Structure formats: C-alpha cells, structure tokens
Amino acid sequence: MTLRQIVTLPDPILRRKAKPVTRFDADLQTLIDDMIETMREAPGVGLAAPQVGIPERVIVVEYAEDEEDEVAPKKLYVMVNPEIKAASEETEEGIEGCLSVPGWQGEVERALAVTVKGQTSRGKPMKVKAKGWMARIFQHEIDHINGVVFTDRATKVWKPQPEQAPLDNV
C-alpha cells in the first residue's frame, strides 16, 4: 500500500464528474487499498478517488457508531459507483471540514438519512442505509465524485481559530 497525495483546491480534478468504474481488477484494488491508508493517515473519515487525483467513482468511509469511545470498532465501507437512491426529507445543518480544503470549515445542510447503492470492489451490488453522521459522510464523498466540494453547499465558511477543537475531516 502507498500513501497518495491528497489534491486540494483549486485543482480542477475536484470540479469534474468522475467516470464510472467498469474494470474490477487488481489496479482498482490497489487504488482502494491506497485510499484507505491515505484516509487513515490524513486522518479523515472518508475519501473519494478524485481527492487522490483519480477521476473514478470510488469512495471509502470509515465510521464508528460511538466516536467518543476510543475502543469502539470502526466500520469500513468501500463503494464503487455509489449513488444516493433515497434521502430523507428531514435535513440538518452540520459543520464539515475536508481534506481537499485544508484549514476551512463550513455549515452544510444534509439529509439526515440516505440509502446508497453501488458496487463492492469485486463488482457485486451493495446497498447501505446511513443515518446521522454516517449519512453526512456518504453525501460529502459522493459530492466529490460529482465534482462538488463542501464549500459549494455551505451556508457559512470560516477558518477555525487555534483555540477551537479540531473537527474530523471528511
């Protein structure tokens, strides 16, 4: 596995819609493994292939139900060609950061629950029903493969002051 460089704004790849994955091969698995290692090292809770310079529809998300519990196991999701198939009408504003927009945070309104369909790294169909913070992460990462950055959706964007607690980057 290799750590990949995370691209940041204004890199144009972050503004392009990523291509669907059609080959489920060793190269795809290498990309996924590298993305997982890069996300964990950053550290972040999600990463999309365009964020490492690859214009393909691949995301990784790692989430623990109880983020406060240091020993709570995290669940890793790898999804190829993900699409939001359903979203709750109920939304919530929340604070987001992004590995591709370092040093900035913003308030973004997102659906409280989503159903995401896609494929596994081997091309098998998969579906994830996500709520709360996990739903926010999936929406954020799927935005990336559609050429959208959180600042595009934010109602307010700011640079946190040094005394503010750091926020997980998605």
Contacts of 9 (CB under 8 A, 6+ apart): 100, 101, 149, 151
Q: Find the DSSP H helices in 1-149.
A: 26-41, 132-145
Q: Which tens digit of pLDDT belongs to each residue from 53-78?
A: 999 999 999 987 665 656 668 899 99
At 152 the pLDDT is 97
> Is it the case that residue 142 has pLDDT exceeding 70?
yes
Domains in the chain (CATH in brackets) are 12-158 (3.90.45.10)
Assign 2 a pLDDT band (cuts: 50, 70, 90): very high
> Is it the case that residue 163 has pLDDT exceeding 70?
no
Q: Which residues are catalytic?
A: 141
Assign 164 a pLDDT band (cuts: 50, 70, 90): low
Assign 1 a pLDDT band (cuts: 50, 70, 90): confident
User: Residues of the chain with pLDDT > 90: what percent?
Assistant: 86
Per-residue burial over 14-30, b = 16 or more CB atoms within 10 Å of its CB, e = otherwise: beeebeebeeeeeebee
Nearest alpha carbon to residue 23 among 59, 61, 46, 56: 56
At 156 the pLDDT is 95
At 15 the pLDDT is 97
Residue 58 contacts residue 80 (beta carbons within 8 Å):
yes
